[in-house]
Amino acid sequence: MNYYMEVTEFTKKYIECNIENDITPDDAAKTANYSLKQLNRIFSMTTGLTLGEYIRMFKLTQALFDLKYSEIPIIDIAFKYGYESQEAFTRAFKEVFSLNPGKFRKIKYEVVPKNRYISKLIHDEEHKYYYKKGIFSQLHIESWIIAKPNRFWASACRNSNCLSIDEFYKNCERKGIVQKVLSIPDTIFEGGAYLPTEIYNKEKWQKYLQAKIDNNKSNGYRWFKKWELSFGIEVEENYPLELLNDFEIIKIPESRYVVFNCKINIGDNHDDVIKSAWNAQKDYDLDSNGLKWAYDKIPYFETLDKEMGYTLWFPVSEV
């Protein structure tokens, strides 16, 4: 890590540890033994943001997590992160996340921030938040790399109504779709496939792009996701497709995958198991293997099995 990055990481750590205090850019500069002008230049060079911008974004990110994972009153969250009133906090929150804090807490949608850097902060910081708060426990994860040939994904149901993941799977069970999937013989596994919408639902993707161009947030695409969850089964390329007449057949090209597996032991919390696997994927060092994620073009998969535990397959390609 070069010197400027070390200074930036030191400053970020200071901000993280003092975010609930009335921290200012001047405080961060003094702690790092720089003038505010010098540290702003370094911070902007390494992150693209000034100290003030980063502090504001970090506060809003932590406020988002408080709304999602705690019952702290909104007015207390506002004061906690230095806002003079609930109204001021609501204006700042809505400016970035396009909805007010009360509505987010009620529906807990996956937010789509206007600012790309806040999206990265949410991605990088959420698991730190809930481990620090004791909401989840990190369990042991095994990971390895495999290569899979061409396969077929037989989709029994897509999450076209944008239900939460848990509700989608419960809905599949209520409707008898799970039993239907489990009745199919000689499958490789059953579970979820996250299909890149750009590739596997082009009509929906085009409508989303047009909505972005029109800046129209009232047409149902505000909560658009780049991946559409499907429940189904994976089968070999030579599988007799006449056995799958009631399924949507999707060809999955050959690819390499990083596999993340968390075994389930007696007493393990279900949410801890799933969160641990997803966080291992977030923290995985692709660079040392000369790889990059390829889930923008190829689906990634998940399955939960009593004997095998919870498993994720994420496609990768060479850099």
pLDDT digits 0-9 by tens, 197-208: 888 877 766 776
Q: Give per-10-residue mean pLDDT for the chain (319 aa).
A: 87 92 91 93 91 93 91 94 94 89 79 74 78 73 95 94 86 95 95 90 70 53 69 96 94 96 82 86 87 93 91 94
Amino acid residing at 187: T
Q: Which two tokens stand for residue 245?
A: 């007449």
pLDDT value of position 219:
42
Q: Specify the residue for token string 């998940």.
A: 302
pLDDT value of position 275:
85
pLDDT value of position 133:
73
Q: What are the angstrom distances between the C-alpha of 247 and each of 93, 137, 156, 200, 300?
A: 42, 37, 5, 15, 19
Query: Taking the CB of residue 220, how many other CB atoms lie within 10 A of it?
Result: 12
DSSP letters spanning 197-223: HHHH-HHHHHHHHHHHHHT--SSS-TT
pLDDT digits 0-9 by tens, 15-50: 999 998 888 999 999 999 999 999 999 999 998 889
Options 3.40.50.620, 3.20.80.10, 3.40.50.720, 3.40.50.10310; which CATH number does 142-318 get? Answer: 3.20.80.10
Q: Which two tokens stand for residue 318?
A: 């060479």
pLDDT value of position 206:
72
In CATH, the number for domain 3-132 is 1.10.10.60
pLDDT value of position 282:
84
pLDDT value of position 213:
60
pLDDT value of position 158:
93
pLDDT value of position 214:
64
* CA gap 210, 222 in Å, rounded: 12
pLDDT value of position 113:
73
